[in-house]
Amino acid sequence: MAMDRIKWLRSGLVAMLVLVVCLALLDSCMQFRMSKSEIDTYFSNKPHKGTLHQYRIESRNIHYVIAGDSTLPLVLFVHGSPGSLSAFIDFLADTSLLKVAQLATIDRPGFGYSNFGMAEPSLSRQAACLRPLLEKHKGQRPIILVGHSLGGPLVARMAMDFPQLVDGLILVAPSIDPSLEPNEWFRGPLATPFLKWLLPRSLRASNDEIYHLKPELEQMLPLWPRITARTTVIQGKKDVLVPWANATFAQRMITNAPVKLMMVEDMNHFVPWSHPQLIRQAIVEFLKDSGK
């Protein structure tokens, strides 16, 4: 009997060790982020160098990369979920954009190197975490925010909460209409303490914020008239993650600024990688129309 118990104990310890190793490997493979050395390597052969910056707000360290002429308008790219500043890093090497704007991409709270794995489900608090970047770089120049997927409602919230700092919005496949949010049964269980810590940190942070997204969007419903920044919405009709009706929702809800829809029939959700030229076009058109 004692030998059986020892065997069971050994088997249990081996199984636990295997689980821990597998989870560690999974976590390392699903980080979706760039270290400083990787950023430096990426820009080493580029004509314009991106530089990594960080600042602290409350208990969070926020990381971002910025490239280009500081006298030009600023474009800030905000990634979806999961993701990191790496989602838009190629835009910071785009010589055509660098002629007309300074470009920045950021690790949102809980992603990349901004307190990796520690999500901030509140969109208003996330917006507050990004505000110091806008205040530091605003000056007398316009700032355009580009938000993809869950980055879309975040940049919209920023334009609601501090409209004086936001001159343009480009919403790329944005999850903004609470009535269109899917009821995914697994989100709740994955947010419980036990299962939550079995997830890779990137997916843990992603699930935390997606689980709370619908009530966050519902809180934003009366705030859409606060947006005064000219807005462009880029949306594919073959997007299976974010319904295309989110684009027309933006057109209905933004009543105090012009809204342009760029609807593409055969485009999916991953616009920054499949159709980067549409984002580039929207940025250039904004700057041209504003005379900047």
CA angle 54, 60, 64 (to 5 degrees): 30
For 243, residues 6+ apart whose C-beta sits below 8 A from its C-beta are 177, 180
Residues 6+ apart with CB under 8 A from 179: none
Residue 6 is predicted with a pLDDT of 58
pLDDT of the residue at 29: 44
Please report the pLDDT score of residue 116 as a whole number. 82
**Which contacts (CB < 8 Å, 24+ apart) does range 213-217 have?**
213/121, 213/150, 213/153, 213/175, 213/181, 214/178, 214/181, 215/178, 216/121, 216/122, 216/123, 216/153, 217/153, 217/175, 217/176, 217/177, 217/178, 217/181
CA–CA dist 226, 166 (Å, integer):
11
pLDDT of residue 22: 37
pLDDT along the chain (292 residues), means of 10: 57 40 40 82 94 95 97 98 95 97 97 90 97 95 98 99 98 98 75 73 83 95 98 97 97 98 97 98 92 58
Q: What pLDDT sits at residue 210?
A: 86
> 263 pairs with which residues across the strands?
235
pLDDT at 21: 35
pLDDT of residue 266: 95
CATH of domain 34-290: 3.40.50.1820
Closest Cα partner for 112 from 30, 201, 33, 55?
Answer: 33
What's the pLDDT score for residue 71? 96
